Amino acid sequence: MVKRGKKIFRILAAILECPTAQLTDQLGESVRMLEPVSWEAKTCLEHFLAFCFANPLGRLQGIYDSTFDCNAACCPYVGHHLFGHDRSRTLFAAKVKDEYLSHVDSRKKETPDHIAVMLRSLIVQDSVEEARDLISYCLIPAVRKMVKALDGKDNPYRDVLLAVLHTLETEDRYAAVGPAQYAAAR
């Protein structure tokens, strides 16, 4: 994984978990970090940050639950978006756990295909190719489906998912061509 993306993915993973009192601090740090990386992602998180400042934590937690935990179309499990409820999802989760998550801290007991867990797995990847595979073939398609599930709905988590999507796409392009070529193309 490209070093510059590691801290961003740690923070985005935290934002995609049930909100805590640290959420606005995490969002502020993300906005600062994303400014040179993706203007689109930064703007999306600024919108979400403004929403968070205007609403109490309990309301944010309720919106999180209704968005991710009570809505199958936007559940936080990457395997669900790639395979549905098919047996393939179980095989996918097992493969992710064995190949990519062996050194990810899993104290929270989330399933291996939870989006926050998979974003954290990008932090510890030694292989750029493996990280790109997770981004290109797993995370980007799943996040696109999650965004689509929230299209036309007044849901602040759509901004978060769009920020994650823009960041993943930027990182994918960056890793594909290398830093020098990417800088020249921008």
pLDDT tens digit sequence for 56-104: 999 999 999 999 999 989 999 998 898 887 777 777 777 777 766 655 5
User: At CA 3, angle to CA 48 and CA 35, rounded to 5?
Assistant: 35
What is the spatial distance between Cα 123 and Cα 120, in angstroms, rounded to a whole number?
5
The whole-number average pLDDT for the span 28-52 is: 93
Residue 45 scores a pLDDT above 70? yes
Task: Say if domain 3-185 classifies as CATH 1.20.1070.
Answer: no
pLDDT value at residue 88:
77
**SS3 label, residue 114:** strand
**83 and 94 Cβ atoms separated by less than 8 Å:** no
- Exposure b/e, 129-166, CB count within 10 A at least 16 = b: eebbebbbebbbebbebbbebbeeeebbbbbbbbbbbb
pTM, two decimals, is 0.85
Secondary element (H or E) of residue 60: helix 57-64
